[in-house]
Amino acid sequence: MVSRNAFLLALVAAVNAIPVPNPQTPDFRTLDTCPTNGAIVCSSDGTKFYLCNFGRAVPMGSVAAGTYCKNGKIVTIGASVAPTPDPEPVQPTQSTVYAAPTSAELVITTPPPVAPTEAPTMPEPEPEKDEVTSTITTFKEITSTSTSTIIHTVTGVAPSAVPSSPSSGGSDGIAITEDIILKVGSSAKSCPRENQYKDRAPEECATAEHAAPLITEAFQKYGINTIGEAAAILSLMMYETGDFQFNTNQFGINGTDPRPGQGTRNMMSPNFIVQYAQVFGSTDSIKPGVTPENINEQTDEVKNQIMALVLGDDKTWASGAWFYKNHPPCAAVMPDLQKTPVSMAAWEAYIVKCVDTPVADRAVKFELAVAALGGTTTA
């Protein structure tokens, strides 16, 4: 019989010899099961022992020298042990419910795949804005809301000699042809013009051939589909620009110097130029805060830069139709101007109330335009 002290020493030695479990243990679910948490489970030959943890026999290694494992206890060789049933490990089945692993286990998980992110889209650089510079002779500004009268020559065949077949561009707008324009002003046949102003802004001169499809497109866009309206707008454009010789006002209020900020083929005043330009976008890149109400307070350079925004073919030829459809006073004259035969009284109301300018000698070109479009006039 081993003495009590010898037994205790052997037990201490056995405990100290217990190896630290390897954290890289097999999968927890593959370990044998055991009935009692915290109990020692012995191998069949007594040389190894297991610790029951959450229903699984976790291998702890070999017992210390001079000891063996029997009936759930580690004892010194030769000691008697009360016989207790040594539970047989049970192999797990698919229906076994597994306990959660202990903190001593290394649980390896695979992180969920991360969806690749798209590279950030770089913003498109803003297009550079063209700057327009002009050298203008400064003169005293006279405020006016009307279009200006420039020196012009009235040409064309007499109304009675024009064929009466109407020109139609369909339900959307009347078609304007080169022939129609030349019947209103024959000087539009070619550029440069053979007159005393041929050297003044010659780059602005446009022919009837060039103008016809652009005016037709504008009439279709704004629904100018009656002879009276088409004749009124076309004749005004040709009167104000010297049969399309000019795209800007080259004669001004005094008849000799250009008027800054006034132009387009409808020869609109600066306040209408600002309003028209702002249909297509802000004018703040030229100068913030410019409005039709304060344009006459701006410098000549600002006026001309804003005007330059609408002098291109895509905008200047549509200015007359745009003005007619968007200037509020014009709405009152539309019903009478749309009637046939075309009323001269309705046209005069268009000039005085819509365009806000005197009739003067404008009637000749209007009558030529009505006749060229295949219409007739009445008082």
Are the C-beta atoms of residues 13 and 66 closer than 8 Å to each other?
Answer: yes
The pLDDT of residue 225: 95
* DSSP helix/strand/coil, 49: strand
CA torsion, points 342, 344, 347, 349, in degrees to nearest 10?
Answer: -130
What's the confidence (pLDDT) of residue 304? 96
pLDDT score for 153:
35
Location of structure tokens 């243990």? 25
Residues of the chain with pLDDT under 70: 1-30, 78-171
Report whether 318 contacts 217 (CB < 8 A). yes
Give the pLDDT score at 97: 40
- Report how far residue 135's alpha carbon sits from residue 133's, in angstroms, rounded to the nearest whole number: 7
Q: Which long-range contacts (CB under 8 A, 24 or more apart) does 161-168 make?
A: 162/368, 162/371, 162/372, 163/374, 164/371, 164/374, 164/375, 164/376, 165/374, 166/227, 166/373, 166/374, 166/375, 167/372, 167/373, 167/374, 168/225
Beta strands 377-378 and 342-343, pairing class: parallel
Measure the CA–CA gap between 256 and 269, rounded to whole angstroms. 17
Whole-number pLDDT of residue 27: 56
In the beta sheet, which residues pair with residue 69? 74
CA atoms of 137 and 127, how far apart (whole Å): 32
Residue that is written with structure tokens 């044998």 in the block: 32
CA distance 362 to 239: 7
How far apart CA 357 and CA 350 sit, in angstroms, is 9
| Pairwise CA distance, residues 270 & 247, whole Å | 13
User: 52: left (phi > 0), else alpha (psi -120 to 50), else beta?
Assistant: beta
Distance in angstroms (rounded) separating the CA atoms of residues 210 and 190 = 10
Residue entry with tokens 């999968």: 27
CATH (one of 1.10.238, 1.10.3090, 3.30.70, 1.10.530) for 159-378: 1.10.530
**314 vs 193: CA distance, rounded Å:** 23
Residue 303 · residue 260 · CB < 8 Å: yes
Q: Which of 219, 197, 218, 216 is nearest to 208 (CA)?
A: 216
Please report which helix (H) or strand (E) contains residue 42, including its range: strand 40-42
Token pair for 330: 């014009």
pLDDT digits (tens, 9 = 90+) for 259-302: 999 999 999 999 999 999 999 999 999 999 999 999 999 999 99
Residue 3 token pair? 């003495």
What is the share, in percent, of the chain residues with pLDDT greater than 70? 67
Does pTM surpass 0.85? Answer: no
Are the C-beta atoms of residues 351 and 359 closer than 8 Å to each other? Answer: yes
Per-residue DSSP letter, 263: B
Beta-carbon contacts of 97 under 8 Å, excluding residues fewer than 6 positions away, are none
- Would you kindly state where each structural domain of the chain is located, as residue ranges? 4-76, 159-378
Residue 68, strand partner residues:
75
Residue 221, SS3 per DSSP: helix
Angle at which helices 300-308 and 270-277 cross, to 10°: 50
Look at residue 67 in the predicted model and tell me its pLDDT.
Answer: 82
Which residues, in sequence order, are bridge partners of residue 248? 263
Q: How far apart are CA 80 and CA 77, in angstroms?
A: 9
Q: What angle do CA 170, 173, 174 make, to 5 degrees?
A: 80
